[in-house]
Structure 1
Amino acid sequence: MSTPPPAAPPASASATAPAPFTGGKLVLATIAVALATFMNVLDSSIANVAIPTISGNLGVSVDEGTWVVTVFAAANAVSIPLTGWLTQRIGQIKLFVSAILLFVMSSWLCGLAPNLPVLLAARVLQGAVAGPLIPLSQAILLGSYPKEKASMALALWGMTAVVGPIAGPSIGGWITDSYSWSWIFYINIPVGLFSAGVTWFLYRQRESPTRKVPIDRVGLLLLITWVASLQIMLDKGRDLDWFASPLVVWLGVIAAIAFAVFVVWELTDANPVVDLRLFAGRNFFGGTVAISVAYGVFFGNLVLLPQWMQQYLNYRSVDAGLVTAPLGIFAVILAPVIGKILPRTDARLLATAAFVGFAIVFYMRSNYVTEIDTWHLVLPTLLQGIPMACFFVPLTSILLGGLPPSKIPAAAGLSNFARVFCGAVGTSLIGNAWTDRIALHHERLTEQANIYNPTFSASIAASQSALHIDAAQARGLFDVSLSTQAAMMGLNDIFYGSALIFILIIPLIWITRRAKRAASGGAPGADAAAGAH
């Protein structure tokens, strides 16, 4: 049996499933279960705006501070395939409540971290225990509603996942500026304890059946090895001068060998930790690769934007958060509309429209200037919510389309793993690319800044005269301005490249067949909403 997380309640339990909740119990159950999703989603986006502050307080570079995001995503990706196996061994409710409590504990450890290594270790733990929260919260909530109201359950569940990107940056920025970055993790404690307590009180008598099933230990070890090696290589590569460093070379070799052996093992093992045979299907291959690459580009830029605003535009954390917060507004408004029109529309058209929309937004950003005002920062972020609404649900419908119900849990789990892992890789690659482009533009601009250039000499003289400073101070001021301009030009390159990537991956959508509505009503919407974080 495949081990990825179930996207819907286990079929074997359907005959003896407890009666749905009604009235106040249903409302309370919805709030408690959805809060676990919200806590997870919020924690993913809330740290983005705090990276410069965390880096400064811990005495590390902003590049190193970005590892706080990437290690969480990588650990989360690795743990997702274990959810199905753990559910069958422990039980749905026990696993869900245990994951919440462990998430609370790891959040507390994150807040207490005195240095970066401790914080990263706590974030790895936090990401690992967060793996079951997204798929199990959806499955548990579906089991709480009558079948005829399953779409309502998914809509309410999905709303909490989409609201996270709206609330996360602004809350994170306000907490960081008003109190301490530690509190962006501490706020999970009361939320998690409430969610775990209420869930256990309401669901403890509704536990799913358990049984002993084998686990692919070799596959899991290989998965952890190549994911960890690749992520460390990407995060440390720039600091160690890439393949000039023996450590980076060894990490690359280990990742390549472990990945190759992993693929062979998973294709031949009777109980693979992830079912790679699913990629033989045209829809699953095209949809999964498209959603994973797109999410990697989207999430990498989502991390990069507030860093640039704080480092080079002198925005406070709370202001950077407010600028990025409008991302989810149109996504929330349009999500129900997309849910209604999707069954009557070719999902490939909606996904293509989403990719074109993302490309337009990134092209708008590629024309930023150093004197940009707040409105022109907010506008593309606000508009980005439109393609977001057309992105996750249609693509998930495509990749799950045509699969038998028995394959949907494995397919949803594998696509979720690929997407989350690409989010971590995308963040690292985009951060590296930005640093390289800054260095390139800085070098080119510096070539023109010499005493033989009359424009440069005039600029230095003008600064001396206007500010009553000496030549050395004027050159220092000029260098600051030059660095800001180089960062802006590098960022524009990233935005332009991101727009191009979204256009280039559109053909992946059209190698798929037109998808019918998935047999498992909850699966597509579930994975889609999960992707919104």
Structure 2
Amino acid sequence: MQNRPDLPRSAINPQLVWTGFIAMCVGMFMAILDVQVVATSLPTIQSALDIDPDQMSWIQTSYLIAEVVAIPLTGFLTRLLSMRWLFVTAIALFVFASIGCATSGSFGELVAWRVLQGFSGGTLIPSVFSAVFILFPNERQAVATTIAGVLAVLAPTVGPIVGGWLTETYSWHWLFLINIVPGIVSALVAGRFLPRQRIDFSELRHLDGLSLVMMATALASLELSLKEAPTSGWTSLYVMSLLALFIASGCFFVWRGLRQARPVIDLHNFQDRNFLVGSVLSFVLGIGLFGSVYLMPVFLAFIRGHNALEIGATMLVTGIAQLVTAPIAVALEKRVDARLLSVAGFALFAVGLGMSAFQDPRSDFGAMFWPQIIRGVAIMFCLLPPTRLALGTLSPDRIPDASGLFNLMRNLGGAIGIALIDTIIYTRSEPLGQKLWERLQSGDAETAAFIGAPAQIMAGHMGAFDANATAVLDPLIQTAASVEAMNEAWLSIAILTGCAILFLPLARKIEPPQ
């Protein structure tokens, strides 16, 4: 594949590059933060715009579908517009769409702006990680990756507290308006300080429109099927039709892409063993990272009854641990084999996820503290070394496509992880509740303590409960059954995260950056 030549690193002023790169990271942070702050305030938006409860999830789904379609297109868009102009255009559209969201007066109008917001925001993450390996020499890549990685995983952590505070202090409009000033500043700074390359409109002549449509169809149908499967059932006609559409369009896209000299996305990157292993690790990290960020607010909101501000304060523990660990991760990456660091990171992350699989209906900040600390420490070792494995040995002209695929794998892992979690919660809560009733009726003291059954009801009890006792115990058992289902979900994603270690022996050793 022919690409425009990259600007030699020796010709770039290091201070100016760092300034432009930091601006890119700020734009990426705002795009990731936007997803979480909106998620915490959906009920407020629903009430304000009089949205049907069945349609409310489309506020998020429309953004996520557009984002997942945009991510793998980052390579093509970089070749077309250059890294500098792609970022400036994407962040400008993101700001414009944010203004549109804030001024929306109806459900349809808001969803339309969310699509544009998701598509423009989707290119920002892979653009930033591409910049790490294109702009910086080996000895600076670990620091640059750390800055990008910290912001990428910190945004979902601080999202609930930011969203809750904005909604309670001001209004839901500010969930979108906060993007304007940082977005404009990052666009101006990046446009001024990033290396200048020419726009190459000849790339449009090589764009395969049919492959683009097939890719978008495959990714959109997969996202929709994963969203609907937990509630509608994996074997429902609607979900099965979506999965069939995903398989058919996806297979056609792969077949066509592998046969073309200038494909929309260069799937040949997967022939590189280290990139393949790194992408698998990125996929697995998505399951654990997105899964944990999803499960904690669900538990704290529906089991403990906390508001968005309280949830955000609890989840800050992970972010603080991650920030403290970041400089240690950078120092170790310069001295230790990336494969060994990845093994340690994923093993520790799996332990942190597994520790949350033993919660009861009264678990709160104290019970969640150490699991969050361990996960926060582990995250940087699950992100930095796999990124180097995947992208660190590729030539600069291959990195934009590869970065898009690498980040797409993490998002797909997150979507599948959340679908798995929802499926477990929806399908396991009822049978677990029945088992709790059976154990309670047999006089099991441990079960009574777990659900928090009043002592006066359990005193000397054996057999069926009367109507009054049943009325008291039923909500307790439903809550306890939901907790047990969530514990099974925690354990499932912990096991899947641990399985990432099995792939690391397949990777080749790469020398740590000096």
Partner Cα distance (2:107, 2:288) in 1 = 26
Q: Letter of the 2:202 partner, please give it.
A: K
Which string of whole-angstrom CA distances, capped at 9 and with x for unpartnered residues, describes residues 312-335 of structure 1? 111111010111122122322222
Instruction: State the match for 2:7 in structure 1.
Output: 13
What are the residue-to-residue correspondences of 1:318-467 with 2, within 5 Å?
318-400=309-391, 402-446=393-437, 462=456
Q: Give the CA deviation at 1:97.
A: 2.1
Cα gap change, 1:243 to 1:75, in 2 (>3 Å): same
- Alignment deviations for residues 205-230 of structure 1 (CA, whole Å, 9 cap, x no partner): 94544341112322211111111112
Number of positions where the alignment pairs a residue of Structure 1 with one of Structure 2: 499
Q: Report the alpha carbon displacement of residue 147 of structure 1 after superposing the two structures with TM.
A: 9.5
Q: In 1, are the aligned partners of 2:142 and 2:334 still within 8 Å (CA)?
A: no
Q: Which amino acid aligns with 1:510?
A: P
Structure 1 partner of 2:463: none
| TM-score, structure 2 as length reference | 0.84
Which one of the candidate residues 490, 502, 506 is aligned to 1:507? 502
1:46 aligns with 2:37: yes
Aligned residue in 2 for 1:230 = 222
Find 1:485's aligned residue among 476, 480, 485.
480
Paired residue secondary structure (1:13): coil
The question of whether the paired residues in 1 share the 8 Å contact of 2:279 and 2:390 is answered with yes
Q: Could you tell me which amino acid in structure 1 is paired with residue 98 of structure 2? A: S
Call closer, same or farther: CA 1:420–1:444 in 2, change over 3 Å: same
Measured after TM superposition, the shift of residue 56 of structure 1 is 7.0
Q: Which residue of 1 aligns with 2:25?
A: 34
Structure 1 contact 2–275 (Cα < 8 Å) conserved: no
Give the aligned partner of residue 210 of structure 1. 200
Kept in 2: contact 1:397–1:517 (CA 8 A):
no
- Provide, for residues 267-308 of structure 1, a one-character-per-residue CA deviation record: whole Å limited to 9, x for no partner: 112212222222233222222112212212321221121022
Q: Distance in 2 between matches of 1:302 and 1:310?
A: 13
1:240 aligns with 2:232: yes
Deviates more, 1:220-229 or 1:266-275: 266-275
What amino acid is aligned across from residue 224 of structure 2 in structure 1?
A: I
Q: In structure 2, how many angstroms separate the alpha carbons of the residues matched to 1:28 and 1:175?
A: 29
CA distance in 1, matches of 2:416, 2:44: 23
- The amino acid of 1:302's aligned partner reads V
Instruction: Check the 8 A contact 2:227/2:419 in 1, yes or no.
Output: yes
Mapped contact 2:41–2:164 kept (Cα < 8 A):
yes
Q: Measure how far apart 1:69 and its partner are.
A: 4.6
Which amino acid in structure 1 is aligned with residue 217 of structure 2? T
Partner of 1:529: none
CA separation in 1, counterparts of 2:492 and 2:194?
50
Task: Give the Cα separation in 2 of the matches to 1:115 and 1:309.
Answer: 30
Where 1:237 maps in the other structure, the secondary structure is helix
- The CA deviation string for residues 173-225 of structure 1, in whole angstroms up to 9 with x for no partner, is 2223333444222211222233334444x359945443411123222111111
Contact kept in structure 2, 1:2 and 1:273, CA below 8 Å: no
Matched, 1:191 2:182: yes
User: C-alpha distance in 1, partners of 2:179/2:168?
Assistant: 18
How far apart in 2 are the matches of 1:380 and 1:15? 42
Quick one: which amino acid aligns to residue 8 of structure 2? S
Contact 1:52 1:311 in 2 (8 A): no
The whole-number CA distance in structure 2 between the counterparts of 1:400 and 1:155 is 14
Describe the superposition over 1:454-504 as per-residue Cα deviations: whole angstroms up to 9, x where unpaired.
999xx7994699xxxxx8676444222111101110011011112211222
CA distance in 2, matches of 1:412, 1:146: 17
One-letter code aligned to 1:12: D
CA contact (8 A) 2:304 2:364 kept: no
Is the partner of 2:8 in helix, strand or coil? helix
SS at match of 2:6: helix
Change beyond 3 A, Cα 1:423–1:441:
same
2:276 equivalent in structure 1: 285
Q: Does 2:484 align with 1:494?
A: no
CA distance in 2, matches of 1:398, 1:219: 28
CA distance in 1, matches of 2:455, 2:97: 56
Matched, 1:317 2:308: yes
Q: 1:97, 1:196 within 8 Å by CA — same for their partners in 2?
A: yes
SS state of the match for residue 505, structure 1?
Answer: helix
User: What letter is aligned with 2:256?
Assistant: W
Counterpart residue identity of residue 178, structure 1: T
8 Å contact 1:370–1:485 — kept in the other structure?
yes
The alignment's TM-score, normalised by the length of structure 1, stands at 0.81
Gaps of 5+ in 1: 4-9, 466-470, 522-533
2: CA distance, partners of 1:320 / 1:36: 25
Q: Deviation per CA, 1:142-166: give whole Å up to 9, x if none.
A: 8888998666555555554354244
- Separation (CA, whole Å) in 1 of partners of 2:400 and 2:228: 35
Q: Secondary structure at the match of 2:263?
A: coil
What amino acid does structure 2 have at the position aligned with 1:507?
L
The CA distance in 2 between the partners of 1:342 and 1:27, in whole Å, is 20
Distance 1:318 1:307 in 2: 14
How far is 1:453 from its partner? 7.9
Alpha-carbon separation, structure 2, partners of 1:56 and 1:477: 32
Aligned partners of 1:435 and 1:484: how far apart in 2?
A: 13
Structure 1 residues 241 and 121: CA distance shift in structure 2, 3 A? farther
Q: CA deviation at 1:60?
A: 6.0
CA distance in 2, matches of 1:438, 1:116: 32
What is the CA–CA distance in structure 2 between the aligned matches of 1:400 and 1:146, rounded to whole Å? 13
RMSD: 3.7
Q: Which amino acid aligns with 1:422?
A: G
Paired residue secondary structure (1:285):
helix
Task: Flag the 1:126–1:232 CA change in 2: closer, same or farther, 3 A.
Answer: same
In 2, Cα distance between equivalents of 1:198 and 1:403: 28
Amino acid at match of 1:512: A
Structure 2 gaps, min length 5: 460-465
In structure 2, distance between residues paired with 1:238 and 1:149: 44
**165, 172, 176: which one aligns with 1:174:** 165
